[in-house]
Structure 1
Amino acid sequence: DIFPGMSFVQGNNVSLAVMSNNLDELQTYFDQLKEGGKVQMELQETFWSKCYGTLVDRYGIHWQISYEA
């Protein structure tokens, strides 16, 4: 699943997801994973989650961070 406006790149077809009902914990994970990486979508409210963001860490691993009530 590739977001609109993003192109397929070999290796970006798999991502790891972290889900939690603790917003502080999610912010901590996001901040640690983005060090040396690239944020694709800052943590923000979406229609499907109170807090959601995506990034690629320094090792090229794609992450989805999401609040789950």
Structure 2
Amino acid sequence: MIVCVCNRVSDRDIKRLAVAGCDSFEELQMETGAATCCGRCEGCARETLAAACAEEATRQAARTIPLVLA
């Protein structure tokens, strides 16, 4: 889905950046220009980034938990 119409930023773009280590809204704005024109997308962009960062943190945590075999 397109999050920022002005700069053609999609939720997939935001998820890719979160996976690459983007963890702040300011960094997202610098990388994509999201919410720098009309600003209507700011809430959605922030929510999408937060969800993507949480998902990535969960994925990273799952990779670091050692598998214990009984």
Same fold by TM-score, threshold 0.5 exceeded?
A: no
What is the TM-score normalised by the length of structure 1?
0.29
Q: Per residue, is there more helix in 1 or in 2? A: 2
Structure (1 or 2) with the larger CA radius of gyration: 2
Name the structure with the higher strand share.
1
